[in-house]
C-alpha cells in the first residue's frame, strides 16, 4: 500500500535546525477516499497511501487512519500527525462536530486516534489544510495574508492572516461559501438563502450553462451537448470552455462576476495581498481569473486608495490536503 | 490643558512584571477634536487632554500632537505613543494614505512625529484602536475572537482574531461598512453599491424613519416631529425610540435585521465568539440587539451545528480611541 517516493538512504538534505528534520504525516479524509502521506518540512511528499473511505462506519474510519499512520511512519522519523476532515471541527481541534458526507457526528476523533498512536495529533478542516498548503508551499507563499476560495461542487475557503491560519473563536472560520450575497436569494444547502455558494460554485455554473442552453443563440452548442448526453456535466462544460464556446464562456464569466464581487467584500473585511482560487473550476485559469479581477475592481470600495491584490489559481491541486494537514501538525507540535 | 486624574503619588499599584509599569500615551485624531491621554497597562486613564482639530492644516495637526504628547508625558514614565487616525493606514503603520475628513493624504505621520518625539510611535486606524480597547478592557475582554461593528453616521469595524488585531495585508482590514449586501444596491460614498453602510448606519436609520413617516400609520409621530423641526435628526429618533414609538422602533428593527444578516455572513468568514455593537445607534441597547440576534439566527448557515456568539454593546464609548491607541502602542513596543 505504502509507496515510498524516496528510498530510505535518499532523503532530502537535513537542514540546520533540529526540529525541522522531523517529518509529519498528513491524512486527508474525503467522502470517497482517504489519502495519507509522509511530508517533509519543505512540503515534499516522501511516501503516500490512498484507500477508499468506509464512509458509513466511523469505527472503520478510525481503524483505517491508525493503520495508515503505522504503515507510513515505517522508516521515517515522524514527529506529528495532522488529520484533515470535511466539516465543522471544534476550536480545540479535537472533535468533528458534523461532516455532511461521512458518518462523523460529534466524533472525538483526536482522542480516539491519540489512544492508539503515540504522536502529537491535530485535526483540521480539509479546506483549511488545503489553504495552509497553498500558503506555505504554493500560490500564497510570498505573502502574509491570503484568502483562498475553492470552487468545486460547492464553494469552500481558507484564510491566513498575519502568517497564521484563521480558525475562528468556535473553529469554523473560513466557510466562505456561506457569505450572503443576495437578500432572500436562492436557497442553500446550509439552510440559509442567497449564499455565494449558490452563485459561484461548480453547481451554479452548470445552472447558468443550462439557462444559456435554454435560450439558444450562443447557447446552441451547450444545448446540443445536453441533448446528446441527457444532461450537462462539469466535464462537458470544461471541454466547451477550452474550445472557446461562447455560451460556456458566458456562463464562466457570470460565475466570475459573482466571485469577484465577493472578493471585493472580502477585501473590506480581510484585506489579503492575494486571492487564491482553487477547486475544479479553477482549471479554467485566466478565463476565470479575468472576469473575477474585472468584477473585483468594479465593486472594490475606495478604489484607487487601495493596492490591488493578486488573483492566482491554486498550485498544489491534488496533494494540498495531506501536505497542509502535515504542516499544520508540525507547526502545532513545534511552535516557533 | 492637561488634567491629571490621579495626583502623582496616587498611582495604581505597580504589577509584578517590569514592562507593565510603563504607561503609554494614546492620541485620537478626530474630524473635530484631537483627544490624548496617558493610559496605564490596565486601560486606566491617568491624565487627558482634548483640543479642536486644525482639520485643514496638516502641519498644525502634527505640531498639536507633538505638543500634546510633551504635555501629557510630564510626570509619567511613558514608553510609547499610539496615534489613531480616521482613514486608511499602511500595513507598516506609518503613513495615513487617505483620511476623508481631515487634510491627511499620503502623510508619513509616523516619521514626522518620530523626528520630534523620542518614544516608540505607532499609527493605527481609529476604528481599530477603539475595537482593540473593547477587546482588552471592554465588551470583548473574555474572548479570543471578537468582531466589532460601529454604527454611527456610517458603519465601521474592527476585528480581533486569536488575540491579535486583524490589520490585513495592506493595512485596511476591518472596513466592515463596505461589505456588499445587495447586488446593484444603493450607491455608497466609497464608490461601490449595496454596501451594508447604506442599510445599517445611522444615516440609513434616518432614511428608514423618513420612509415610515411618509406612509402615516405607525409613522404618525415621526411625521409630526419632522414637520415641527423641519427634518428628523438622530436626536429626535433616539428620543422616540426611548419613548417606545412604534414607528421609530420599526425603523430600528429594520436596521437590526440588516446588521444581523451581515453578522451571519461575518460568522461564516471570521467566526467570532462575540459581536460588539458600538457607535451612537448602539445606545438603543437591547432594542437594537434583539432584532440583530433574531435576524442573525435566521440567516446563520448550518444553524444548530454552530455555537451562538454573544451580541453586546460597546462599553468604552468615549475613551475607546485613546485607550486602544495607547495599548496598541504598548503591545508594539513590548511584544510578549
ipTM of the modeled complex = 0.90
What percent of chain A is modeled with pLDDT above 70? Answer: 93
| The model's pTM | 0.90
What is the CATH architecture assignment of B139-313? 2-Layer Sandwich (3.30)
Higher per-residue pLDDT: A240 or A92: A240
| Of A168, A126, A159, A167, residue with least CA distance to A140 | A159
Grouping H, G, I as helix, E, B as strand and the rest as coil, residue B29 is strand
| Alpha carbon distance, N-terminus to C-terminus of chain A | 34
Alpha helices by DSSP H, B117-233: 126-137, 197-200, 202-214, 220-229
Lowest-confidence segment of A286-300, B75-89, B242-256 by average pLDDT? B75-89
Q: What is the largest CA-CA distance in chain B?
A: 64
CATH superfamily of the domain spanning A3-135+318-333: ATPase, nucleotide binding domain (3.30.420.40)
Q: Is the dihedral of CA B99, B102, B107, B108 positive or negative?
A: negative
* DSSP string computed for B143-176: -S-EEEEEESSSEEEEEEETTEE---TTS-TT-G
pLDDT of B10 strictly over 50: no
Of B179, B274, B303, which is closest to A269 when you measure between CB atoms? B179
With beta carbons under 8 A apart, name residues in chain A contacting B299.
180, 192-193
Summarize the confidence of residues B4-33 as an average pLDDT: 62
Pick the CATH number of B3-129+318-333 from 3.30.420.40, 3.30.360.10, 3.40.630.10, 3.30.2010.10: 3.30.420.40
Shortest distance between the Cα of A7 and any Cα of chain B, in A, equals 41
Minimum Cα–Cα distance from B100: chain A residue: A302
Q: Which residues, in sequence order, are bridge partners of residue B167?
A: none
Q: What is the pLDDT of residues B185-240, one digit of tens each?
A: 999 988 999 999 999 999 999 999 999 999 989 999 999 999 999 999 999 999 99
C-alpha cell at B303: 444553524
**CB-CB under 8 Å, B271 with A173:** yes
Q: How confident is the model at residue B95 (pLDDT cuts 50, 70, 90)?
A: confident
Q: pLDDT tens digits for A42-82?
A: 999 999 999 999 988 889 999 999 999 999 999 999 999 99
Checking if the pLDDT of A100 tops 80, the result is no
CA distance, residue B228 to nearest chain A CA (Å): 36
Q: Residue B21: what pLDDT?
A: 62
Fold of A141-313: Nucleotidyltransferase; domain 5 (3.30.420)
The reported pLDDT for the residue numbered B335 is 54
Average pLDDT of chain A to the nearest whole number:
91
Would you state the pLDDT for residue A14?
A: 37
What are B112-137's pLDDT values in tens digits?
999 999 999 999 999 999 999 999 99
Q: Please give the full DSSP string across A214-238, using - where no structure is assigned.
A: HT-GGGHHHHHHHHHHSS--HHHHH
A272–chain B nearest CA distance, Å: 5
User: Which residues in A lie closer than 8 A to residue B169 (C-beta atoms)?
Assistant: 143-146, 271-274, 309
Asked whether the beta carbons of A183 and A313 are under 8 A apart, the reply is: no
Least confident of A6-10, A279-283, B114-118: A6-10
Nearest to A270 among B173, B268, B301 (CB): B173
Every domain range in chain B assigned CATH 3.30.420.40: 3-129+318-333, 139-313
Per-residue pLDDT for B19 more than 80? no
What CA–CA distance (Å, rounded) separates B335 from A94? 30
Return residue ranges of chain A for CATH 3.30.420.40. 3-135+318-333, 141-313
Does residue B5 surpass a pLDDT of 90? Answer: no
SS3 readout for B247-290: HHHHHHHHHHHHHHHHHHHHHHHHCCCEEEEECHHHHHCHHHHH
For residues B262-280, give the mean pLDDT. Answer: 97
The whole-angstrom distance between residue A307's C-alpha and the CA centroid of its chain comes to: 26
pLDDT > 90: what percent of chain B? 79
How is residue B298 written as a grid cell?
A: 435566521
Q: What is the mean pLDDT of residues B44-59?
A: 93
Amino acid at each position: 500500500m505504502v509507496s515510498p517516493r524516496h528510498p530510505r538512504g535518499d532523503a532530502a538534505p537535513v537542514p540546520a535546525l533540529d526540529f525541522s528534520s522531523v517529518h509529519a504525516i498528513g491524512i486527508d479524509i474525503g467522502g470517497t477516499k482517504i489519502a495519507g502521506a509522509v511530508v517533509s518540512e519543505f512540503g515534499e511528499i516522501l511516501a503516500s497511501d490512498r484507500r477508499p473511505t468506509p464512509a458509513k462506519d466511523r469505527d472503520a474510519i478510525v481503524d483505517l487512519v491508525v493503520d495508515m499512520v503505522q504503515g507510513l511512519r515505517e522508516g521515517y522519523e515522524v514527529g506529528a500527525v495532522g488529520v484533515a476532515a470535511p466539516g465543522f471541527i471544534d476550536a480545540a481541534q479535537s472533535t468533528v462536530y458534523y461532516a455532511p458526507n461521512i458518518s462523523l457526528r460529534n466524533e472525538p476523533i483526536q482522542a480516539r486516534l491519540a489512544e492508539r498512536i503515540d504522536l502529537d495529533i491535530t485535526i483540521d478542516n480539509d479546506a483549511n489544510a488545503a489553504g495552509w498548503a497553498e500558503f506555505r508551499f504554493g500560490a500564497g507563499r510570498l505573502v502574509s495574508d491570503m484568502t483562498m476560495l475553492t470552487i468545486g461542487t460547492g464553494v469552500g475557503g481558507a484564510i491566513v492572516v498575519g502568517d497564521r491560519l484563521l480558525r475562528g473563536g468556535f473553529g469554523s472560520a473560513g466557510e466562505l461559501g456561506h457569505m450572503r450575497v443576495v437578500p432572500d436569494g436562492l436557497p442553500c444547502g446550509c439552510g440559509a438563502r442567497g449564499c455565494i455558494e449558490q452563485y459561484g460554485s461548480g453547481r451554479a455554473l452548470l445552472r447558468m450553462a443550462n439557462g444559456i442552453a435554454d435560450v439558444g443563440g450562443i447557447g446552441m452548442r451547450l444545448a446540443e451537448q445536453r441533448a446528446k448526453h441527457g444532461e450537462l456535466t462539469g466535464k462537458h462544460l470544461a471541454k466547451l470552455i477550452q474550445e472557446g464556446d461562447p455560451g460556456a464562456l458566458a456562463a464562466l464569466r457570470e460565475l466570475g462576476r459573482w466571485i469577484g464581487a465577493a472578493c471585493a467584500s472580502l477585501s473590506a473585511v480581510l484585506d489579503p495581498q492575494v486571492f487564491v482560487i482553487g477547486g475544479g473550476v479553477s482549471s479554467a485559469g485566466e478565463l476565470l481569473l479575468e472576469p473575477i479581477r474585472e468584477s473585483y475592481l468594479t465593486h472594490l470600495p475606495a478604489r484607487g486608495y487601495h493596492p490591488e491584490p493578486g488573483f492566482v489559481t491554486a498550485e498544489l491541486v491534488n496533494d494540498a490536503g495531506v501536505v497542509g494537514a502535515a504542516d499544520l501538525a508540525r507547526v502545532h507540535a513545534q511552535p516557533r
